[in-house]
Structure 1
């Protein structure tokens, strides 16, 4: 199994160097390996999922700063390599980041982006443009493309406690699909440079 994963990684690295139009995402911690093909259509979100996202977001917004901080601290704890990518607070201990003003500001920007995406689900072009530009900016910051898919699961685990009374598999799927859509356009932007 290890040898198969190692061969896959070597092929992936070679493919990335040859062709930036296809990005291969992999996470050692989750043993996730997905190929991004920008020629494929973006993920779809159903009308019911839009309703769920809007309903949930109204509740999450009441504690949006806290959710943002919990999301990033959790991400840094489960994926220390992501913490290392942030120059502003790379040297800080993860347990102390909860009080870091720079992290708080970044977390609020991310929550603002989620907000914009939820309210642009009916205007796919605006959502696409917003997230593609975000991908270009992240590429310019030298963010590794494999980090992009890590945010969704961490965000979902951060909002569940706020929505425990209403949370179902349908809610989980709606949020997963939103982050798949966001990630699709971010990766597309990162691959366009």
Structure 2
């Protein structure tokens, strides 16, 4: 597996700088060879363009971590049922992938690279197909919006009720579609609550300037609208076997999964201290701070450190939350949960590395722009 992984990474380096054009060519090959597949994708392909190719590349480049890869592919196979993907579609995608790589690598493409990508993709496709076939839950859940609360200019807290029971763990996320406003466009959002008896789910959404779904969820969706939710994914869940104290680091709406973890902990925790660092640019970004303070007041094992990076008048810590967590500690014997933008997560991971926090004790799920 090591040689295969090396060949895949080496060959991807040949085309990586041209991956945007490669992605466009890749989709063109798919739609030319199987025109019916075009109907499974959104009308606007701007954001979607890199997603499928990116998932494949992520998978093939992690072949040397079989346990992590296996979980990633199982989740991916279950999740792709929402697109109405059938087993035979994988061959079409695989052929388009190889043709695209071959074309953009040009004379530097070798028979060894060809075999490596063919073998790697076949492994990926087989695991995803098996995972999808073994799944008994719905391809997606239809959920009604019960309430929609604006928290500032760009943030909304949305409560929904799925028509069927949706089983998940605190800290996980689902893909969300707004069929009335952005059909066939899905984006990942974490549930902001642990599973509840009434089956309701809460989402925290920030509208992004380039976010088709986030903009619709914040500015257009109202109570009574219907959303679609795909199968739960993610590994940022509590390890109940651990007795170590916990540190949670959240950036803006990255608070959602952290809040879900806190809600689960309030149901059983008596022995573990939980330190919550909640950061944003201005105090408006700390949209849920009053409720967090109420949780900390009710549960003495919770300590809360709010922070702003661009608000001189804020009565709290100043700076990026990824750096502020380094001012406290020591943290070498704690479990970490990190949630926020990709940049915030990576910056926090860099800080924790300088503090000698073992990577095995850090859990996170980083998304791109939503």
Q: Could you state the TM-score of these two structures normalised by the residue count of structure 2?
A: 0.35
Instruction: State the match for 2:33 in structure 1.
Output: 78
Instruction: State the match for 2:81 in structure 1.
Output: 139
Cα distance in 2, alignment partners of residues 108 and 174 from structure 1: 22
Say if 2:5 and 2:63, in contact at 8 Å, map to a contact too.
yes
Say if 2:30 and 2:37, in contact at 8 Å, map to a contact too.
yes
SS at match of 2:46: helix
Cα distance in 1, alignment partners of residues 47 and 11 from structure 2: 22
Determine whether 1:69 maps to 2:11: no
The higher radius of gyration belongs to: 2
Instruction: State the match for 2:56 in structure 1.
Output: 114
Instruction: State the match for 2:13 in structure 1.
Output: 58
Deviations 1:86-132 (A, max 9, x none): 3x22xxxxxxxxxxxx3232231123213321331111121111121
Cα distance in 1, alignment partners of residues 47 and 126 from structure 2: 24
User: What does 1:5-24 correspond to in 2, within 5 Å?
Assistant: none
Cα distance in 1, alignment partners of residues 101 and 83 from structure 2: 27
Instruction: State the match for 1:184 in structure 2.
Output: 126
Bigger Cα displacement from structure 2, 150-159 vs 137-146: 137-146
TM-align CA RMSD:
1.6
Q: 1:166 aligns with which of 91, 100, 108?
A: 108
Runs (4+) of structure 1 exceeding 4 A deviation are none
Cα distance in 1, alignment partners of residues 117 and 46 from structure 2: 22
Instruction: State the match for 1:127 in structure 2.
Output: 69
Instruction: State the match for 2:95 in structure 1.
Output: 153
Cα distance in 2, alignment partners of residues 119 and 159 from structure 1: 15
- How many residues of Structure 1 are paired with residues of Structure 2 in the alignment? 135
Structure 2 portions without partners, runs of 5+:
136-370
Say if 2:77 and 2:127, in contact at 8 Å, map to a contact too.
yes
Q: Could you state the TM-score of these two structures normalised by the residue count of structure 1?
A: 0.64
SS at match of 1:164: helix
Cα distance in 1, alignment partners of residues 32 and 102 from structure 2: 18
Structure 1 portions without partners, runs of 5+:
1-45, 90-101
Deviations 1:122-181 (A, max 9, x none): 111211111211111111332222112211111110111222222222211111011101
Say if 2:8 and 2:61, in contact at 8 Å, map to a contact too.
no
Shift of 1:75: 0.7
SS at match of 1:163: helix
Cα distance in 2, alignment partners of residues 60 and 114 from structure 1: 14
Instruction: State the match for 2:313 in structure 1.
Output: none
Cα distance in 2, alignment partners of residues 182 and 107 from structure 1: 20
